[in-house]
Amino acid sequence: MLKVRVIPTLLWKQFGLVKGTSFDSWRRVGPVLPAIKVYNQREVDELVLVDIVAHQSDDDPDIESIDEFGQDCFVPLTVGGGINRIEQVQRLLRAGADKVSVNTAAYARPELVTEIARRHGVQSVVASIDVRAQDGGWNCFSHAGRQPTGREVTAWARELEDRGAGEILITSIERDGTMQGYDLALIEAVVRAVSIPVIASGGAGNYQHMVEAVVRAGASAVAAASIFHFTEQTPAGAKAALAEAGVPVRRNFVASDHAER
């Protein structure tokens, strides 16, 4: 089994970071750069930074800001939001991103995923899928969870893998920000549908939720935001809890961090 990653998610809106519930009711949680510097010190495995309003315009991603963030980010950085052309990907990777996350644009033009994979390698493409539970299954939504796509999640995940995605980032819209736990059935369904790594997102409220996402649902990584923004729980504590449950992790956490909680 590959070592499981703990990945803080940073949701970026205009001038700073925000966090909401079920992709709504956004509240500001601080500026981007200080958060990146804090996570550097906490030795996280990776960071995901998503511009949640970039899809609303035809403007290019904010390359200048990504360049600034990248200079102070010492872990692999995935950048998403508003990416719809291969030229934008090239500029983001040059600016400091290690991977790009594609969501809304993939529904309109799925071949974008293939273009990125062919030019920059499958390891550079994270296919992000935002999902709502409906009619006994799970349906995919675009535009920050606003627009139904008519796509069923497992079929769409398989198509994205076939087109060259290196990872799937799967987010339960209903669970997002609730801190009530990941949708384990959703994660397991996607894990069973594809052979590439699946990152669980949406709902983590404690370390046990992360353990369950990996041990019970088969996730290769766990992404979270609220647990790190609004509680004293830390990425290091999460990794310690995973290790105690027998999950292989990168040994860069401080053991006492978990012991104190």
Q: How far is CA 215 from CA 37, 128, 177, 239, in A?
A: 30, 22, 22, 13
State the Cα torsion 24-173-64-229 to the nearest 10°. 70
Q: Is there a contact between 123 and 158 (Cβ–Cβ < 8 Å)?
A: no
Q: What residue ranges do the domains of the chain occupy?
A: 5-259
How much is the pLDDT for 251?
75
Q: Measuring CA to CA, which residue among 112, 115, 75, 118 is closest to residue 96? A: 75
Per residue in 136-169, pLDDT (tens digit) is: 899 999 998 889 999 999 999 999 999 999 999 9
Question: Does 253 have pLDDT greater than 70?
Answer: no
Highest mean pLDDT among 19-33, 45-59, 88-102: 88-102
State the Cα torsion 44-142-94-88 to the nearest 10°. -170
Q: What is the mean pLDDT of residues 11-31?
A: 78
Residue with tokens 């504590």: 237
pTM for this predicted structure: 0.92
Question: Does 23 have pLDDT greater than 90?
Answer: no
How much is the pLDDT for 13?
81
- Between 14 and 116, the more confident residue is 116
Chain centre distance of CA 71: 21
Question: Does 260 have pLDDT greater than 80?
Answer: no
How much is the pLDDT for 43?
74
Q: Is the dihedral of CA 44, 54, 34, 180 positive or negative?
A: negative
How much is the pLDDT for 42?
84
5-259 in CATH: which number?
3.20.20.70
What is the chain's mean pLDDT, rounded?
91
Per residue in 84-136, pLDDT (tens digit) is: 999 999 999 999 999 999 999 999 999 999 999 999 999 999 999 999 999 88
How much is the pLDDT for 256?
40
Confidence tier at 53 by pLDDT (50, 70, 90): confident
